[in-house]
A and B are shown apart, each in its own frame.
Chain A
Amino acid sequence: MDHPIPTPLSPATPEDAGPIVLALPKGRILSELGPVLARAGIHPAADYADESSRRLRFPTEDPALDVIRVRSFDVATFVAHGAAQIGVCGADVLMEFDYPEIYAPLDLGIGRCRVSVAEPVAATGEDPSRWSRITVATKYPNIAQRHYAARGVQAEIVHLNGAMELAPSMGLAKLIVDLVQTGSTLKANGLRETEVIANVTSRLIVNRTALKTRPEAIGTWIARFRAALAERDAR
């Protein structure tokens, strides 16, 4: 039979022990998320949105729900491992990791942006259909590799965690694959967006094991988020 996907948390905990943990991404998304959380009836301790707070785990008014604040990429990791049962992260992160342990039942419609290819405005006029390989600077090695593999080009990845926009002008890579919101950072660095790989919004994600073994509790939270979105969109 297929190999199971164990959730490697060592000791067996008694069922339904402990609160459900909701993982939220730091930064830009967090402020957009505030109204959605409030409508879903989630009121974390006041300092959760304060980036200077040193606390990482926050209780909420509901004793059965705790909130943790981690980097966007790490939300998916926490949820995939079952350390957090639900979370909010961008579709870009889900595309990059493609964890079989994660379901993404709700599109929250916030944090709109796109994963795009960008290259120097002063392009060399090369014909991309003649490429057999291309150097790409990105924090999304899997997305970039898949994108170019689909068109028969081997992407040679320069893995950066930030300031991708510097890479082409400094000779690190011919082009970049990065998250683009308004495109102003690209423009300021002499780049132009040439191709949109995927449009991105934030998703509510849930851990597969949690959904299967605690369907009532997890189902209730999904329903509350869904109702919050319906209420927001009705206005």
Chain B
Amino acid sequence: MTDDLPNPALLPAGLADLLPPDAEREAALVEAMMGVFASHGYERVKPPLLEFEDSLLAGSGAAVAEQTFRLMDPVSQRMMGLRADTTPQVARIAATRLGAQARPLRLCYAGQVLRVRGTQLAPSRQLPQVGVELIGGAAPAADGEIAVVAVEALAAVGVAGVSLDVTLPTMVPALLDAAGVDPVLRTRLARALDRKDSAAVAALVQGQDAALAVLPGLMAATGPADGALAALEAAALPESAQAIAENAAAVLAAIAARAPGLRITLDPVEFRGFRYHTGVAFTIYGPGMSGELARGGRYVSQNDEPATGMSLYPDAVLRAAPVMAPKPRLFLPVGADGAAFRAEGFATVAALAPDDTPQRLRCTHELRDGAPVPVVTKD
């Protein structure tokens, strides 16, 4: 037999140890974002890592059912799930233990989620997640608040220049329903819209119901919110779609009023990746190519309550955020007292033995005549 012993450093696929200084950076980032949520009146809840799968996979949880680790509870003999998303848990809390509390209810959370499978693009199977949920607020102002608070939380950790993409996942189904298209055409149109194949969309709506004739125009208008909104207002929409467009305009106005400098794009015909959203949905992209930092939107919470929320992904935020200077490390010789220096903002590293040196303890500063001075490194 030539079985090699497994290397003890090897972790299961998609899992990682976060080391200094990244672990500290991520924790600081989570707390800074939670601080912004708290300052807007969002109260923190902490659901458990595991719960019975029937409550975990209810409502919006159904979208992550196939990504949920499950195990049998030996105590109750019932199936439990390890959360792949915190939103269903917050929805459960809002509907049950906080069911009697007056609405709207503003809740926030921070925790880890696990999923069965990573992808080539996003291989992690454990992700940190922080988020806000506003339950029982039906007004466009609620959607606006969620978007603005999320952008403010990102700004608080130094991620500026983000771009907010607003999508209307209910728009295309509303137009298709209004036109009463047959299932075959519906599938082909949905595919063409999903790929953003504008030539195919134009060809497919040729000679069809007038409700579909607006699709090519709406597709072409996708982009900066002002232009897209103008196209949406100019389009001859059926009643159901008109309501969606007016709601979108109100949400965008609410966001623009509270965050005037924010870069907003609007895609009225996007529905890819938004499976349970019932109103406007949001994606926040980081500056440059740093990718998606947050995702959310309006959904129906448990007990059919209207709700809106946003989940932010600290691992993605960490990649987009500027690197903060680590705390200076001050070497304390044996017997020295460091309380005053810690109060000044130093991390003090005490020597435990006479042969501990500032260099060995990776100190940036040492004491000379009782005052901290930078350590001189010898080449």
Q: Is the CB of A103 within 8 A of B163?
A: no
In Å, the complex CA distance between A77 and B121 comes to 9
- In this assembly, does A145 line the interface, its C-beta being within 8 Å of a C-beta of chain B? no
Interface of A is mostly: loop
Q: Is the CB of B121 within 8 A of A101?
A: yes
Q: Other than the known A5-B122, A80-B120, what 14 A-B pairs have Cβ atoms closer than 8 Å?
A: A1-B60, A2-B274, A7-B289, A7-B291, A8-B319, A12-B286, A12-B322, A14-B287, A15-B288, A105-B196, A105-B197, A211-B196, A212-B285, A226-B199
Within 8 A of A (CB), among B257-299: 265, 267, 272-275, 283, 285-297
Q: Is the CB of A9 within 8 A of B291?
A: yes
Q: Is the CB of A103 within 8 A of B196?
A: yes
In Å, the complex CA distance between A211 and B292 comes to 13
26 A-B residue pairs with CB within 8 Å: A1-B85, A1-B309, A3-B67, A3-B122, A5-B119, A5-B121, A5-B291, A5-B292, A6-B121, A6-B313, A6-B316, A8-B291, A9-B289, A12-B319, A12-B321, A12-B322, A15-B287, A101-B121, A104-B196, A105-B197, A209-B292, A212-B163, A212-B265, A213-B163, A215-B224, A226-B199
Q: Shortest Cβ distance from A205 into chain B, in angstroms?
A: 9
Closest chain B residue to A206, Cβ basis: B196
Within 8 A of B (CB), among A170-213: 206, 209-213
- In this assembly, does A161 line the interface, its C-beta being within 8 Å of a C-beta of chain B? no
In Å, the complex CA distance between A213 and B319 comes to 17
Q: Shortest Cβ distance from B82 into chain A, in angstroms?
A: 14
Q: Is the CB of A209 within 8 A of B285?
A: yes
In Å, the complex CA distance between A134 and B87 comes to 43
Q: Is the CB of B223 within 8 A of A215?
A: yes
Interface of B is mostly: mixed
Chain A contact residue count (CB 8 A cutoff): 39
**What residues of A have a CB within 8 angstroms of the CB of B310 in the complex?**
1
Interface string of B26-64 (1 = CB under 8 A from A): 000000000000000000000000000000000010011
**What residues of A have a CB within 8 angstroms of the CB of B295 in the complex?**
1-4
In Å, the complex CA distance between A124 and B295 comes to 54
Closest chain A residue to B309, Cβ basis: A1
Q: Is the CB of B316 within 8 A of A4?
A: yes
- In this assembly, does A53 line the interface, its C-beta being within 8 Å of a C-beta of chain B? no
- In this assembly, does B311 line the interface, its C-beta being within 8 Å of a C-beta of chain A? yes
Q: Shortest Cβ distance from B116 into chain A, in angstroms?
A: 12
Closest chain A residue to B127, Cβ basis: A3
Within 8 A of B (CB), among A1-57: 1-17
- In this assembly, does B131 line the interface, its C-beta being within 8 Å of a C-beta of chain A? yes
In Å, the complex CA distance between A2 and B195 comes to 20
**What residues of A have a CB within 8 angstroms of the CB of B199 in the complex?**
106-107, 226
**What residues of A have a CB within 8 angstroms of the CB of B319 in the complex?**
6, 8, 10-12
Q: Shortest Cβ distance from A49 into chain B, in angstroms?
A: 27
Cβ-defined partner of A15 (8 Å) among B64, B161, B197, B321: B161
- In this assembly, does A219 line the interface, its C-beta being within 8 Å of a C-beta of chain B? yes
Q: Is the CB of A4 within 8 A of B313?
A: yes
Interface string of B151-189 (1 = CB under 8 A from A): 000000001010101000000000000000000000000
